[in-house]
Structure 1
Amino acid sequence: MSGTVVVAGLCARPLAESARAAGWRAIALDLFGDADTRRASLRWHRIGDPAAGAIDPALLRHALQRAAREPGVLGWVAGSGFEAIPDLLATRIPGLPLRGMEAAAVRQVREPAAFFARLDALGLPHPEVSFDPPLADEGWLVKRAAGSGGWHIRHAGEAAGGGCYWQRIQPGEPMSALFLADGSRARVVALNRLVVRPLGKLPYVYMGAIGPIRDEALAPRLEQALAALVPAFGLRGLASLDFVARQGHPCLLEINPRPSASMVLHGDAWPGGLLRAHVRAVDGELPRDAPSPAPGVRGCLTVFATRPCRVGLALSGELAQSPHCHDLPAPGAYFTPGEPVCTVSTAAGSADAVLVDLDVRAGQVLHRLSPCEELVA
């Protein structure tokens, strides 16, 4: 199958690169239009303001309508950013079918009361949750149902607003299972360790992933959980299950019913890449063979600005030439504290070694950013 696929999300680069690996042309729709996203794409269209960190529904619809006129277009794939606006997944564009989970199914997965009630019915472990503020704030978090990436998580006691729920803090290692599903069955691609750290006042922001993590105790328990979850929610395509691991036991947090950023670590799991596997899984076909084990361990880490800064011309050129830098900003791009600058990657023999190397690479980028005192409010 050849043709053009439209990929949309907050950052479409992983999807666009996976489309190219599948032999497809990609039309990328995202907020940033980074250099490598454009390089992997036939065309790029902005669908939101990077400063707002959200997809603009009107811009998305317009971009999808334009893309539908592309000869040989196969459909569109939704990545991150639709958690808060699942109704956009119900957008019907003639000649451009959605290749992924439908809006109604996504709402069911992302609605906390229904999701955790289903986990209880299936006998699957999860942290204690409440839909009313706890009597004592200590040991609790407040989360927004429509959030993603940890940007919606606060310590209990802070302003909550509508659409929030409370969850008891669960000790352990934050992890995820990247998997394919056909509506009734699942095939695990890999287990990943999530790099989750404080950012400003936010206590748990997703910054990257490391994998594959090989754990003989965890793996069968995650497969059993997914064997129950996939038919219960009708999950289809490439998705991820987030959990906290402790002593070989997973405590489930949420399902992201769309291609996860961790897909960049496992692009060679099957010939043709993960986006092709995603489209086939949506159509009801899982790979017959187990994923090819990648040598060693891989990792990626988002570099966030720690001060007002910009990317100078020399640094921009160096980042573009490095095989370990991704989501490449344009020369002269400005960043305020907490904004993502780029992503770094590496590979090593262990997860701990990967994390050390990622932090070194991130520090090198931060050191080279030019300070911009004029950006200080």
Structure 2
Amino acid sequence: MVSRIGLIGASCRAMAASLVRSGVSVAAADLFADYDLQQIGEARALKSYPWSAPRWLRETDMDAWCYTGGMENYPRLIQRMAGEKRLLGNSATTLRLVRDPFLLADLAKANGFAFPETHRVYDPAFDPIHPQLSDQWLLKPFKSAGGLNMEMVSVLPALPHRFYVQRRMLGVPMSAVVLSMRDESWIVGTSRLLVGTDYGAPGPFVFAGAISTYPPNFEAIEPIAHAIYHEFGMKGLWGFDYLEADEPVLLEVNPRWTATMPLHERMRDDGLMKHHLQACLNQEVDLLPQYAVGVSGMRIIYAKRSLRVTEEMVERMDDAFAFRNPYSLLAPRIGDIPNPGTIIEQGHPVCTLYADGNGESLVEEALVASETQLDAIIYAEGSSSGGG
């Protein structure tokens, strides 16, 4: 087993905590190098994210490295970095395949499961601006994460090669976590996704959190997981989003650590990244419990107005959520805590809240209560706002 892992992504904190609880030290480079990430391991905020990542990789001591959210949009960069130090995760070739919606549509057709009707922006046989009255179409960027820059079609984009058009379908948005080894794949767990402005997100399709499902229903989605695994040679931990409807509808594949993975390890008290390393190193993978017991949830809190994080604000967060407790760093009630002095613009993420319980409704209530408690801290009279 390797003893020191480098991490690169928009937010590495949860993945770093998963490694540390398994006895692996970490060096992380991400957008923010948040306060709590720095308590877990070595952390650096890249000045030119992600383009300065190769230099960071060369200069940092590590046995191997992994990537997380957002990096799947840069397969050429990942290929370059994998040529310098060992990558434990899906290759650039795999990324190019699984992030292609047209290849996923072909896979769904060949294996008999559902995928939304998908078109290029300027398909001569298709006009998304003047569809049938019953049709609704989404404009999606090829390079995106968390539902950012996704919207209903109203006008065609100025740079059409960066987008595609997909039929909007009805159903409950869900996410599945999968662990793939040399000869088999396991579905680790499923979550109901919290999406859009009803949950405080800055856009109607932006990811705002998730609630794990218990007991999960794996049977309906196993054909999807197995088809993706066998077609694209998935490795280690990865996930896919789908709609729960009369039949599951595959939406996209996330070929790396995802935001919902901490929910499944919280209920198992077992760091999932340990299993990811074992799978990527072609070692025997420790058997996971079939189901996590109980329910865990998360909410990403977006700023309701521009604010400046102060030392006092961070201290009050610690008083309320005890995030400096060593155990809390690995299974926190609050995570991704911004550093004092950070200016957060309206609509940008502030932090992540977590809650555990015996049912989905109880967990949702606990998350709402924690958000109310957090709001009283960050929007307290006299707290800093704006860019001053």
Q: TM-score, normalised by structure 1?
A: 0.89
Match in the other structure for 1:205 = 206
What displacement does 1:320 show?
3.1
Q: In the alignment, is the contact (CA less than 8 A) between 2:303 and 2:345 conserved in 1?
A: yes
Deviation at residue 135 of structure 1 after TM alignment: 4.6
**Quick check: 1:86 aligned with 2:85?**
no
Unaligned stretches of 5+ in structure 2? 122-126, 322-331
Distance 1:357 1:286, change over 3 A: farther
Q: Which among 326, 349, 357 is matched to residue 340 of structure 1? A: 349
Match of 2:150 among 153, 159, 166: 153
Match of 2:170 in 1: 171
Residue of structure 1 equivalent to 2:325: none
Preserved CA contact (<8 Å) 1:269 1:292: no
1:291-344 per-residue CA deviation (whole Å, 9 max, x = no partner) reads: 264332111111100111223333211323514111111224221111111111
Structure 1 range deviating more: 296-305 or 112-121? 112-121
Q: Which moved more, 1:315-324 or 1:298-307?
A: 315-324
Asked whether 1:112 is paired with 2:101, we answer yes
Aligned pairs for 1:247-258 (under 5 A) are: 247=246, 249-258=247-256
How many angstroms apart in 1 are the aligned matches of 2:299 and 2:45?
Answer: 24
Separation in structure 2 between the aligned mates of residue 375 and residue 88 of structure 1, nearest angstrom: 33
What's the C-alpha RMSD, in Å, of the aligned pairs?
2.3
**Separation in structure 1 between the aligned mates of residue 214 and residue 137 of structure 2, nearest angstrom:** 28
2:368 pairs with 1:359: yes
| Separation in structure 1 between the aligned mates of residue 220 and residue 273 of structure 2, nearest angstrom | 26
SS at match of 1:202: coil
Cα offsets for 1:39-65 (capped at 9, x unmatched): 111x2122256xxxxx331x1011101
Structure 1 contact 184–230 (Cα < 8 Å) conserved:
no
Q: How many positions carry a matched residue from both structures?
A: 362
Deviation at 1:270?
6.8
The match for 2:316 among 315, 318, 340 is: 318
Structure 1 spans left out of the alignment, 5+ residues: 50-54
Give the TM-score taking structure 2 as reference length: 0.86
The SS at the match of 1:219 is coil
Moved more, 103-112 or 199-208: 199-208
Say whether 1:127 aligns with 2:116.
yes
Q: Which amino acid aligns with 1:300?
A: M
Deviations 1:119-157 (A, max 9, x none): 212222112222235253651111011111000311112
Task: Give the percent of matched residue pairs that are identical in Structure 1 and Structure 2.
Answer: 27
Aligned partner letter, 1:141: L
Q: Are the equivalent residues in 2 in contact too, given 1:305–1:366 (CA < 8 A)?
A: no
CA positional deviation for 1:75: 0.3
Which residue pairs with 1:281 in the alignment?
279
Say if 2:129 and 2:155, in contact at 8 Å, map to a contact too. Answer: no
Structure with greater strand share of residues: 1
Residue 367 of structure 2 aligns to a residue whose secondary structure is helix
In the alignment, the residues of structure 2 paired with residue 288 and residue 299 of structure 1 have an alpha-carbon distance, to the nearest angstrom, of 25
The answer to whether the 8 A contact 2:191-2:213 is kept is yes
Does the residue aligned with 1:267 lie in a helix, a strand or coil? helix
Q: In the superposition, relative to structure 1, how do residues 113 and 286 fare at CA in structure 2: closer, same or farther (>3 Å)? A: farther
Alignment of 1:40-59 (within 5 A): 40-41=40-41, 43-48=42-47, 55-57=49-51, 59=52
Comparing 315-324 and 343-352, the one that deviates more: 315-324
What residue identity is the alignment partner of 1:121? Answer: A
1:46 & 1:350 partners in 2: Cα distance?
37
Match of 2:56 among 52, 60, 63: 63
Q: Which has the higher contact order (CA 8 A, sep 6+)?
A: 2
